[in-house]
Each structure stands twice: as structure tokens, then as C-alpha cells.
């Protein structure tokens, strides 16, 4: 299932902080069963002409984000405050990721 949304690019405040987009909770919900033991959900992300393997990453407050690598930001002309449409889908790696034991 490919999912998309429009978000504004943010950056973590710390020195060298990652650029990222927050993912709406309702879009994360269908993927929660794919979490590994660290809470990551393996995905393939797509912005413009760029594709990369990454994860829906937990922020620690119950929300998730997608980090935007420097090479993708450069190719796509993305900076803090940019509004972007981002697509993602579960990665094939998700089936191989360790999951929490019930």
C-alpha cells in the first residue's frame, strides 16, 4: 500500500540535526504491526524523482517521522520550511525485520 501526504520540512534543533517530515498518526497506524524491536518501521520513501530505503522513526512522544537525507534534499531542492509531497510504502525488509514477541 503506497501512502502519500504533504508536509513541511523541519529540522531537529541540535547541532547537525536531521531534516525530517512528521508523519500524521493516521497514516502510521496501518503500519504499526511491522515495527521491529526498536520501534522502526522499514519503508521505501519517494520525493520527486528520488527514492530511498529508510524507516518511519519514532520521536519518543508517540509520533513518527521520515528523515530526509542530504543527497535527496540537494537533488530535490528541499530545505527547512519547504512544503513537499512524500510517498512511502512498507519495504520488503519489513518482512525480515525482527518484531516484538507477544
- Domains in the chain, ordered, with CATH? 3-95 (2.40.30.100)
- Tell me the percentage of the chain whose pLDDT exceeds 70: 90
Q: Are 64 and 70 in contact (CB under 8 A)?
A: no
Burial class (CB in 10 A: 0-12, 13-18, 19+), 98: exposed
Summarised one tens digit per residue, pLDDT across range 9-57 is 999 998 888 999 999 999 999 999 999 988 899 999 999 999 999 999 9
- The pTM of this model reads 0.87
Report the C-alpha gap between 31 and 53 in whole angstroms. Answer: 16
Amino acid at each position: 500500500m503506497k501512502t502519500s501526504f504533504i508536509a513541511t520540512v523541519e529540522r531537529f534543533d541540535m547541532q547537525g540535526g536531521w531534516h525530517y517530515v512528521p508523519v500524521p498518526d493516521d497514516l502510521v497506524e496501518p503500519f504499526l504491526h511491522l515495527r521491529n524491536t526498536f520501534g522502526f518501521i522499514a519503508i521505501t520513501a519517494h520525493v520527486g524523482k528520488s527514492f530511498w530505503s529508510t524507516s518511519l522513526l519514532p520521536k519518543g512522544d508517540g509520533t513518527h517521522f521520515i528523515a530526509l537525507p542530504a543527497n535527496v534534499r540537494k537533488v530535490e531542492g528541499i530545505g527547512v520550511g519547504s512544503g513537499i509531497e512524500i510517498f512511502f510504502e512498507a519495504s520488503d525488509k519489513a518482512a525480515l525485520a525482527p518484531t516484538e514477541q507477544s
